[in-house]
Chain A
Amino acid sequence: DSGVTQTPKHLITATGQRVTLRCSPRSGDLSVYWYQQSLDQGLQFLIQYYNGEERAKGNILERFSAQQFPDLHSELNLSSLELGDSALYFCASSVETGSGNTIYFGEGSWLTVV
């Protein structure tokens, strides 16, 4: 158990809908990352938050947004869903130390768009 908690574990929704994925980082971790794993695109970095502020942005679509709350949990919002958004969405967290980051992953949220 990595200590990173993601909900829901599985989600099936229709095209055009909106969903929210939730992540609780490991205790003490200030950074939260979101990744998408699909069959054709591999593992793609979406976005990173550090202590409530956006730190880095990767290949995140405009239809997607994220935020990190004062209690450090994070949510990834996916809207106007398309079939191609079906994927495994990972949240990861890390504590930034002087020796750099070690990033731990949650178990992922499986999203199926039908």
Chain B
Amino acid sequence: AQTVTQSQPEMSVQEAETVTLSCTYDTSESDYYLFWYKQPPSRQMILVIRQEAYKQQNATENRFSVNFQKAAKSFSLKISDSQLGDAAMYFCASLGGRRGGGADGLTFGKGTHLIIQP
């Protein structure tokens, strides 16, 4: 079984500043994948970034990057130059196994509500 913990229910950041959202996970899988999803008020789940556990290099997507610490089972998301449109719930998730699926599918944390202050 996998567990994902997001310890920050809510974060606030000034527009144009940088913010880091924390996530820790636990898994017995040797091969797994980690994700950050964004859920704006529309409730759509939008993939932000993806990390393969076997890759040491941290994933980046434009203003979004991760700090993946495999030994510590930590997977934080850094948002640079925060914009008003970044305001949303952010969910960290894990997926076990090279072929995905398994007993748990995607396991989600409880989310962090990100507020952008203009």
* Chain B residues whose C-beta falls within 8 Å of the C-beta of A45 in the assembled complex: 104-107
Residue-wise interface mask of A (49-64) relative to B, using a CB-CB cutoff of 8 A (1 in contact, 0 not): 0100001111000000
Interface residues of B in 23-71 (CB under 8 A from A): 31, 33, 35, 37, 42-47, 50, 52
B35: chain A residues within 8 A (beta carbon): 103
Q: Are B108 and A42 in contact (CB under 8 A)?
A: yes
At the interface with chain A, which of B7-15, B72-80, B91-99? B91-99
Is the Cβ of B47 less than 8 Å from the Cβ of A104? Answer: yes
Contact residues on B (Cβ < 8 Å of other chain), bracket: 20 to 34
User: Closest 4 CB pairs between A and B?
Assistant: A45-B105, A105-B45, A101-B100, A43-B108
Using a CB–CB distance below 8 Å, which chain B residues touch chain A? 31, 33, 35, 37, 42-47, 50, 52, 91, 95, 98-108, 110-111
List chain A positions with a Cβ less than 8 A from chain B: 2, 31, 33, 35, 37, 42-43, 45, 48, 50, 55-58, 88, 90, 92, 94, 96, 99-105, 107-108
